[in-house]
A and B are shown apart, each in its own frame.
Chain A
């Protein structure tokens, strides 16, 4: 029992025992303020219409699509860490998977909101779902948007189920340890009557692995689908088969960056240095470097393809990316996504919390810039010079973006306080195995 008790106490006490500290309240208030910004931006948007944004013809997609692609990308690392590493029996995931999954869920929620908010008539978003109606009209299944609706929704549901199923044993632990009546009731309902019998564990393991297998496929399909939104067009810079893998790499890359940021924060805030060790950070740093290099490969070959095609318009788009009106987004992305991660070749950098956190934040920003570059540079100069235009996001779009970060943080802050931050039983399991090996 000796090795398990501290883990259980340490994690479960965060939700059950610890008092709401000032810093938690501060975080809740700060993110809550941004949630208010989000609500205000949405109300303004619904009242006045998407005309309040800076979009136009030809750049008729703006920050909303940038944000969608960015958020759903972030949502990739959580599932990848959980599902892929679970299937590969990488036990180091156990300290990370719970909050990474939560991050996935919230990020995908953010991502799913923007395509609805950006509609000209958002109240009719459900026409994209195959709902029988008195109109007798169905969605148009050739549209990548329908693929996105399907993949987002399935990813959201699968991630939610995966997260929840994975949490059931821990919820039962919380139920059993809870002293207050409301906690016992709440966690009791959520634990779905988990008793930890051998039968429960066997069924649970089957279900958990099955879902993991499904979710892993979705990781690939979701961002490929998002990439098809661009690649299925005819536009130079978008219309390329490179886009789907490029998008998936980039997504996982940005996701790992945000996982690192959250890990560093959680570690410091709840004193979990012993569970979330520097070894974990080191591993995350390596993953960041790996996925970053894959993304860099994408940059390289995007440019190569454009040049190699010899196609006037492809080359012109490449030139616009590098030297056009929005070249800052391209070079910003290259600097933050490629240059900064070179630090991670050094073990000391990977194990240094400030360095790793800084690199991760820069990568998150850099990936956003890259999405901006893809959306705006792809649209502002297309085929006919007569229809070329320009785009600048006004405050209404930025407010929505900032608000979505706030909403994400708000949900995460609540999660950190009310649900088990780490997978207690899996940590214990790993500890037991370790002990078994050594002892």
Chain B
């Protein structure tokens, strides 16, 4: 299924690529098909027109890679799927990885080498770079998981250069005494999290959601104490909202409760919760897990580890392992020391690769001022960002899908990153840039990466292992081994910040720490807990908002010792009362494409490490117009939308509603879907996967604010009683008795012989009756030519098997009909029926928590039929008699 990009096929691939690009449906946005047909000069052996090819590669994020299979059509990558064989991803990816393929074509990417703003060539840079290596040279990168990059950095170190690391947000797993503590939620019956957003966005999300959902995530008991609601808190059965400064106290209390130590002074609610948590942990010793946010002080982690060791959890539900990321020479102070040296004039040349410190510098570190004292400054990045603007040199960095590299997944499993397309723009990989610094400007990243692994495997085994690793997409048995945490006394933490208002920081759920700010698809991805798009807000509790007399959207000012930010207020359900949450990633000044200048910059207040600070709050002038995709976030008394059962309980069977219309006959498959609300973690990966698979355009903040977002699949959020948070993914229900079909005057939406509610764009005249009639409002209308309004470069990622919709037509989820059609054609050619599981929808394929099952309802043995017969199955708005083909499995909650 997958192919390698080197060897003969790669040669022909590159050769044919030019012709292929011309012949492919790049002109898909226009009405007329291309006028010319350009065949290859030499036919690549395994290139079949119209048939995608898959390359196993990996996409790095904050130092960790996610193994993927890249789908390419005639040389164009169009979609990334999780590598099903990889031990971490097991076929899933997160939302960021789904959007990565669009970043490849992002027209805001930087594409030329600049020296003082003027375009120069690679040779100019290479000449300059060759002389830099020496004691004055400093390299600044983000987290490094690539063995090759680390090898190159070490080689530069041998020549006197010094490597510094700046990652704006702490890595997902905490570490104690040199060992990384990797949770294994699949082995835990009870999980107690102290501010650890296990299921939230980040490099470990897929890892944790996958494990959490083994045997159904809702069956695991999850207890969370945190200052601001996260996806982990949303999934918790028991959640305590406390200021971040109280988390270490809770850790102490749990430890004291278990080992009989000194129970710290705490509020009654805290003490009760801690006792409860401790009891649950103890009752499930060996199958329980206590975990704390990686940004918390290290002595908290020490005591958490002690609890897990005492309960026999260590080595089972939490694995102390060797770190997968390279360790920076100066540890946590790496970046601060660099800036101190720069300010002191001790740095003669600074090369920043893939980081944006001019934007992400924490408060109190004036990177820009220090940079002014460095004679030679080089920045390499995907975008001409804030740091690029300050540096004399700027190099356009290659996208990970464009050049060779390697990396490690969160469990340490290594992958070779192979390019799936020749660079879209003239860009350079980090390896090439470091090679230039090492005086080898002509070295190809392909050879550099091969050299790394040749050294590891030895010359004899190399060729075979390299080939195998490329085909597999990862290098087997390279997961990080167990480690023993070094004993040691951690420095005692500063005392809690007092009783005043506390400010906590969180990376934005959709654009991370700001690195994805230029990706419009992620900007428009509704943030799971607020449904906001394109902006960040200052989150505060309902009580605090009432006290200040402010509503959602009112501007408020937050003053701390380090500075002041002004942003729109937003009431976050489940927010600790005296806590305010700031979201990172916005307030970008440069290089964030369409999002440049949107929102406020939380880095101006954030201390290094991201811990909480004290601040004062006041009302400011004005209101913001926020683009929210779901303005109502309560059930408004309609509780049967989300159903909950006690473990083992069964919902009453849905009666078959009568209809005046005759039944549809189904000689063949009758497709259906079941979505398990107990498993859904609200991570949004399905939303982006659907968007990419079906070439769904983004529309921009103004259109979203008008209620015109185009996502075919949305994840609704409802805040219920007693702090309950419900996520409900809503694709088209493909109703058996569909109101839309009855309303359409021109037969543009009709019932197909396999049960699909078909939407025929080219027949649609845009009366919008179907949308008016749809009880689920899953239909999306092209009020403008949204696809055409996107930059033309994005036509590159579009799925050639899906029609691009023009102005004035309706569209909606098709159950990925192009995948059904492809599977049906293949099966028909082989004269066999479709197998269960042969058709996988994009949302189902990507889902890290396996919440979506799709298949043939006419086959009683199919997975979806079994799910539908199960005790938790229910139909959304079943009483309307629409007989939806998409059904839901109820959440599970102890009575």
A–B proximity contact (CB within 8 A): yes
Name A's B-contacting residues (CB within 8 A): 48-51, 54-61, 115, 118-122, 124-125, 127-128, 135, 137-140, 142-146, 149, 229, 232-235, 312-313, 316, 379, 382-390
Which chain B residues lie closer than 8 Å to A122 at the CB level? 765
In the complex, the answer to whether B779 meets A57 with C-beta atoms within 8 Å is yes
In the complex, the answer to whether B746 meets A57 with C-beta atoms within 8 Å is no
In the complex, the answer to whether A139 meets B784 with C-beta atoms within 8 Å is no
In the complex, the answer to whether A387 meets B777 with C-beta atoms within 8 Å is yes
In the complex, the answer to whether B807 meets A120 with C-beta atoms within 8 Å is yes
In the complex, the answer to whether A384 meets B765 with C-beta atoms within 8 Å is no
Given A60-B771, A386-B632, A388-B632, does the pair A142, B742 have CB atoms closer than 8 Å? yes
**Nearest CB in chain B to that of A386: its residue:** B716
In the complex, the answer to whether B809 meets A312 with C-beta atoms within 8 Å is no
Q: Does B264 contact A (CB under 8 A)?
A: no
- How far does the alpha carbon of A9 sit from the alpha carbon of B808 in the complex, in Å? 54
The smallest beta-carbon distance between B783 and chain A, in angstroms, is 3
Of all A-B residue pairs in the complex, the 5 with the closest CB atoms, nearest first, are A120-B766, A120-B808, A56-B707, A51-B783, A387-B777
Contact pattern, B 867-895, Cβ under 8 Å of A = 1, otherwise 0: 00000000011001010000000000000
Quick one: which of A56, A60, A146, A389 has the most chain B CB within 10 A? A60
**Nearest CB in chain A to that of B769: its residue:** A145
Quick one: which of A56, A125, A386 has the most chain B CB within 10 A? A386
Query: Which residues of B (740-771) have their CB < 8 Å from a CB of A?
Result: 741-747, 750, 763-769, 771
Q: Does B772 contact A (CB under 8 A)?
A: yes
- How far does the alpha carbon of A386 sit from the alpha carbon of B877 in the complex, in Å? 13
Given B632, B739, B766, B769, which contacts A50 in the complex, CB threshold below 8 Å?
A: B766
- How far does the alpha carbon of A213 sit from the alpha carbon of B121 in the complex, in Å? 86
The smallest beta-carbon distance between B226 and chain A, in angstroms, is 25
Interface residues on B, range: 35 or more
In the complex, the answer to whether A50 meets B783 with C-beta atoms within 8 Å is yes
- Identify 27 residue pairs between A and B in the complex whose beta-carbon atoms are under 8 Å apart, listed by A's number: A49-B807, A56-B706, A57-B777, A60-B771, A61-B768, A119-B767, A120-B810, A121-B807, A139-B746, A140-B746, A143-B743, A144-B743, A144-B769, A145-B743, A145-B745, A149-B745, A233-B743, A234-B773, A234-B882, A235-B775, A384-B876, A384-B877, A385-B634, A385-B635, A387-B630, A389-B631, A390-B631
Q: Does B638 contact A (CB under 8 A)?
A: yes
- How far does the alpha carbon of A390 sit from the alpha carbon of B634 in the complex, in Å? 16
In the complex, the answer to whether B782 meets A120 with C-beta atoms within 8 Å is yes
Which chain B residues lie closer than 8 Å to A137 at the CB level? 746-747, 763
The smallest beta-carbon distance between B464 and chain A, in angstroms, is 53
- How far does the alpha carbon of A142 sit from the alpha carbon of B659 in the complex, in Å? 15
In the complex, the answer to whether A57 meets B745 with C-beta atoms within 8 Å is no
In the complex, the answer to whether B739 meets A233 with C-beta atoms within 8 Å is yes
Contact pattern, B 323-346, Cβ under 8 Å of A = 1, otherwise 0: 000000000000000000000000
**Nearest CB in chain A to that of B708: its residue:** A56
Which chain B residues lie closer than 8 Å to A232 at the CB level? 742-743, 773
Q: Does B718 contact A (CB under 8 A)?
A: yes
- How far does the alpha carbon of A316 sit from the alpha carbon of B717 in the complex, in Å? 21
In the complex, the answer to whether B765 meets A128 with C-beta atoms within 8 Å is yes
In the complex, the answer to whether A234 meets B880 with C-beta atoms within 8 Å is yes
Identify 7 new A-B residue pairs, CB closer than 8 A, beyond the known A50-B766, A57-B771, A128-B746: A55-B783, A57-B781, A120-B783, A121-B808, A233-B772, A234-B739, A384-B641
Which chain A residues lie closer than 8 Å to B880 at the CB level? 234, 383
Query: Which residues of B (605-631) have their CB < 8 Å from a CB of A?
Result: 630-631
Say what secondary structure dominates the interface of chain A: loop
The smallest beta-carbon distance between A395 and chain B, in angstroms, is 15
The smallest beta-carbon distance between B767 and chain A, in angstroms, is 6
- How far does the alpha carbon of A55 sit from the alpha carbon of B783 in the complex, in Å? 9
Which chain A residues lie closer than 8 Å to B876 at the CB level? 384
Quick one: which of B638, B714, B882 has the most chain A CB within 10 A? B638
The smallest beta-carbon distance between A316 and chain B, in angstroms, is 7
**Nearest CB in chain B to that of A313: its residue:** B638
In the complex, the answer to whether B707 meets A58 with C-beta atoms within 8 Å is yes
**Nearest CB in chain A to that of B704: its residue:** A56
Q: Does B776 contact A (CB under 8 A)?
A: yes
**Nearest CB in chain A to that of B881: its residue:** A234
Q: Does B637 contact A (CB under 8 A)?
A: yes
Which chain A residues lie closer than 8 Å to B768 at the CB level? 55, 60-61, 118, 120
Name B's A-contacting residues (CB within 8 A): 630-638, 641, 703, 706-708, 714, 716-718, 728, 730, 739, 741-747, 750, 763-769, 771-773, 775-777, 779-785, 807-810, 876-877, 880, 882
Which chain A residues lie closer than 8 Å to B707 at the CB level? 56-59, 389-390
- How far does the alpha carbon of A36 sit from the alpha carbon of B728 in the complex, in Å? 49
The smallest beta-carbon distance between B579 and chain A, in angstroms, is 27
Given A60-B772, A386-B716, does the pair A128, B636 have CB atoms closer than 8 Å? no
In the complex, the answer to whether B765 meets A119 with C-beta atoms within 8 Å is yes
Which chain A residues lie closer than 8 Å to B728 at the CB level? 386
**Nearest CB in chain B to that of A143: its residue:** B745
Which chain A residues lie closer than 8 Å to B708 at the CB level? 51, 56-57
- How far does the alpha carbon of A229 sit from the alpha carbon of B809 in the complex, in Å? 20
In the complex, the answer to whether B784 meets A386 with C-beta atoms within 8 Å is no
Which chain A residues lie closer than 8 Å to B809 at the CB level? 120-121
In the complex, the answer to whether A140 meets B775 with C-beta atoms within 8 Å is no
- How far does the alpha carbon of A143 sit from the alpha carbon of B882 in the complex, in Å? 16
Given A50-B808, A119-B808, A386-B718, does the pair A145, B767 have CB atoms closer than 8 Å? yes
In the complex, the answer to whether B745 meets A128 with C-beta atoms within 8 Å is yes
- How far does the alpha carbon of A63 sit from the alpha carbon of B706 in the complex, in Å? 16
Quick one: which of B638, B745, B877 has the most chain A CB within 10 A? B745
In the complex, the answer to whether B773 meets A233 with C-beta atoms within 8 Å is yes
The smallest beta-carbon distance between B708 and chain A, in angstroms, is 5
Which chain B residues lie closer than 8 Å to A384 at the CB level? 638, 641, 716, 730, 775-777, 876-877
In the complex, the answer to whether A143 meets B784 with C-beta atoms within 8 Å is no
Which chain A residues lie closer than 8 Å to B775 at the CB level? 234-235, 382-384
Which chain B residues lie closer than 8 Å to A55 at the CB level? 768, 783
In the complex, the answer to whether B742 meets A119 with C-beta atoms within 8 Å is no
**Nearest CB in chain A to that of B779: its residue:** A57
- How far does the alpha carbon of A390 sit from the alpha carbon of B705 in the complex, in Å? 10
**Nearest CB in chain A to that of B766: its residue:** A120
The smallest beta-carbon distance between A379 and chain B, in angstroms, is 6
Quick one: which of A48, A58, A143, A145 has the most chain B CB within 10 A? A143
In the complex, the answer to whether A379 meets B730 with C-beta atoms within 8 Å is no
Which chain A residues lie closer than 8 Å to B807 at the CB level? 49, 51, 120-121
Given A232-B742, A390-B631, does the pair A125, B765 have CB atoms closer than 8 Å? yes
The smallest beta-carbon distance between B633 and chain A, in angstroms, is 8
- How far does the alpha carbon of A321 sit from the alpha carbon of B781 in the complex, in Å? 26
The smallest beta-carbon distance between A237 and chain B, in angstroms, is 12
Which chain B residues lie closer than 8 Å to A388 at the CB level? 631-632
The smallest beta-carbon distance between B785 and chain A, in angstroms, is 7
In the complex, the answer to whether B808 meets A386 with C-beta atoms within 8 Å is no
Which chain A residues lie closer than 8 Å to B877 at the CB level? 383-384
Given A383-B877, A389-B631, does the pair A57, B742 have CB atoms closer than 8 Å? no
**Nearest CB in chain B to that of A375: its residue:** B772
- How far does the alpha carbon of A149 sit from the alpha carbon of B765 in the complex, in Å? 14
The smallest beta-carbon distance between B420 and chain A, in angstroms, is 36
Quick one: which of B772, B783, B807, B876 has the most chain A CB within 10 A? B772
Which chain B residues lie closer than 8 Å to A50 at the CB level? 766, 783, 808
Which chain A residues lie closer than 8 Å to B739 at the CB level? 233-234
- How far does the alpha carbon of A39 sit from the alpha carbon of B339 in the complex, in Å? 65
In the complex, the answer to whether B632 meets A312 with C-beta atoms within 8 Å is no
Which chain B residues lie closer than 8 Å to A379 at the CB level? 772
In the complex, the answer to whether B882 meets A54 with C-beta atoms within 8 Å is no
In the complex, the answer to whether B742 meets A143 with C-beta atoms within 8 Å is yes
**Nearest CB in chain B to that of A61: its residue:** B772
Which chain A residues lie closer than 8 Å to B747 at the CB level? 137-140
- How far does the alpha carbon of A291 sit from the alpha carbon of B747 in the complex, in Å? 38
Which chain A residues lie closer than 8 Å to B784 at the CB level? 48-49, 51
- How far does the alpha carbon of A118 sit from the alpha carbon of B781 in the complex, in Å? 13
Which chain B residues lie closer than 8 Å to A61 at the CB level? 768, 772
Given A121-B764, A232-B742, does the pair A387, B776 have CB atoms closer than 8 Å? yes
Given A121, A138, A144, A313, which contacts B765 in the complex, CB threshold below 8 Å?
A: A121
